Amino acid sequence: MKAKLLLILVTLFSIPAFSQDATKVFDEVKTVNIRSSGVIKKNNVVKGYYNFYEFDKVDRKTRIFKLNLLDENLNSLGTKEIEGPKEWELVSSGFDGNNFCFKFWNEKEKTFELKVYDQQAKEVNSITTKINYKPSGMKYTQFKQGVSPELGIVENSGFVNYVYNDPNDAFIINYAGASGQKSWDHTYEPEGKSRIMFPTYLNGNNDIILTAVTKIERGMYSFKTQNSLVANSVKDGAELFDLPTEFDGNYVVPVNAVFEDGKIIVIGLNYKQAKTFTTPPDGFAFLELDKTGKLLKSNFKTFDESLGKYLTIENGKLDGGYFLYIHDIVKTKNNTNIVIAEKFKKPGGSGALSALGAMTGGSFVSLQLENMVVIEYDKNGNVVQAQEIQKAKGTTNSFPSYSGFLSPYLLATAAKFMGWMDYMYTMKSDDNSEITFSFVDYDKLDNDAKKTKNFGQIRYKNGKFTSDKIAIKKEKATWSAILPAKTNHVIQVSYFKKDKKLTMDMIKLNN
């Protein structure tokens, strides 16, 4: 995103020059092109925002950039001047509780660079990885769709990034440590080959980094998967264990992990077959491992037996032929787990074409989306409560006609990768006492109102689920957008063309 912005450059520029010439000259200093802006998160907690902009040319190849950080209330925290290649783009950021990390992409050199700064804006660590694949290649495109560009945050101990590795269709883990710690990269080299692998950062502490790996088997139409839990040493990246998560016919896709009393507690989706991409999950898995990856305890609960008390569910399907797509699982302060899911179905069954597609001679497939569902599980996998949160029925964008024969769950997974589902993101407070799930809704906010595009929030606090919605577009604004913000808030950015005015309002939700 490139936007012309007149920055408020701290106190330094609060007194402009008098003379017109001097004013003009100094205004040039103040006028900048924003290269990128974004949210700084510590896992699911918004800690602030960054603006990255080009300030000056050092020589033909090098630029002076400025990195301006704002806190969660949009107060400026400071600006750092950095020299770098002119091709630099800031891709993502993170905060580990002590340090900030920024992930840069150098288009010319084809490198990713993680730079770690302490709170005095001093660079304390960095690591550069040159990619070994073609960014336009099909396999990388798939990898990019399935792997989050966000940094994994190791509490007070550094940052994790995953880079595609072409030679073995796997990936490289980058770790940029905090001050005084080593940075390293480690190439994941499992036994046997797969068509593609998707790493997901689960958690990390000052000993290990946990990654969930989904491997899709080779073969044009095979969607059989193998899942495993990989642990690397924070110290040097050495692989501590690579544990396949198939246990006596239970195929587990790890979604979340926490460290408790020297043990690793993993929460995942449980499947009765090795097609975790194409079939709906049958339930949840709760695993307890020791530090070496030895399974100490396991508990598998099917939806039919656990969720059936709260929602009519049979063979993974809800009333009306809906499936549940599980977006996230988050551990609460009370040691329970909250699951956020979205109801969806493929209208008319397998291979159905949309009416529009049929009329125009083309053939399109889209998924029908319905309510959000939140479920709270205790640590033994028993449902504490489950609730449907109303949202208007909608459809995803259309898939190509050849997608018609694909299973609804595979289409949902693809829709999720492409950001077509209504679920937006999960946020929480530092201590997990509050958890919020956001979604898009296209309904009336009041009985008398027209249908609008709305931002919806489900909040879990004090053991209760509540929800609230606001219209995304501010009245009279030319356009508005919503940005993630501190707990129970969103930032509504609105542009008023007539007044040439951009406003940013920190809106507190009511639930």
Partner 1 sequence: MKHFPKPHILPFVIAVVAFSMSVFIAKGQKNKPVAIPKQYAYTDIESYTVFLNKTVKDDANSFEKKYQKDYLKIISEKNTDLLKDLSERKFLFDSAVYPYLNSVFLHILQKNSLDAGRFHFFVNRTSNVNAYSYEEGTIVCNLGLLNIMENESQVAMVFCHELGHYLLKHVNNSIISQLETYNSSEFLVRVKKIKKQEYNSKKQLEELYKSDVFNRRKHNRSQERAADSLGIALFRNTGYNGTNIAHIFDLLEAAENSPATGVLQSFFKQENMAVADNLFRPSKKMSFSDTRKEETDSLKTHPDCAVRKIAMKNNFDSHGKIGLDYEIANASKFSELKKQALFEEAAFSKENDNLSYYFYQLVQMNTLYPDNYFIKSEIFDTLLSFCIHQKKHQLYAVVSNQYIPDDDKDEYAILLKLIDNIDLGELIAITNKYYTSHKSQINASAEAINNLNHLNN
Residues engaged in binding partner 1 (CB under 8 A) = 10-22, 25-26, 28-29, 47-48, 55-59, 64, 69, 71-75, 77-80, 95, 100, 117, 119-122, 461, 470, 486, 489, 505-511
Angle in degrees, CA 188, 190, 195, rounded to 5:
95
The DSSP element (H or E) to which 416 belongs, if any, is helix 408-417
Round to whole Å and give the CA distance between 246 and 486. Answer: 38
Q: Which residues of 258-287 are buried (b: 16+ CB within 10 A; e: fewer)?
A: bbeeeebbbbbbbbeebbbbbbbbbbbbbb
28 phi and psi angles, rounded to 5 deg:
-60, -35
Is the Cβ of residue 32 or residue 326 nearer to partner 1 in the bound state? 32
Considering the complex, state which of residue 11 and residue 136 has its C-beta at the smaller distance from partner 1: 11
Instruction: CB nearer to partner 1: give 110 or 333.
Output: 333
Nearest residue to 298 (alpha-carbon basis) of 234, 250, 261: 250
- Shorter beta-carbon distance to partner 1: residue 25 or 502: 25
Ramachandran quadrant class, 114 (left: phi over 0; alpha: psi -120 to 50; beta: rest): beta
Determine the Cα–Cα distance for residues 385 and 110; give it in Å rounded to an integer. Answer: 49
Which is nearer to partner 1, 258 or 471 (by Cβ)? 471
| Amino acid at site 221 | Y
Smallest Cα–Cα separation from 30: which of 56, 60, 50? 56
Q: What's the closest the beta carbon of residue 36 comes to partner 1, in angstroms?
A: 17
Least distance to partner 1 from the beta carbon of 107, Å? 21
φ and ψ of 298, to 5 deg: -145, 150
Q: Which is nearer to partner 1, 4 or 261 (CB)?
A: 4
Smallest distance, Å, CB 450 to partner 1? 18
* Of 17 and 358, CB closest to partner 1: 17
Q: How far is CA 127 from CA 10, 82, 141, 380, in A?
A: 31, 16, 24, 41
DSSP-H helix ranges across 177-333: 303-306
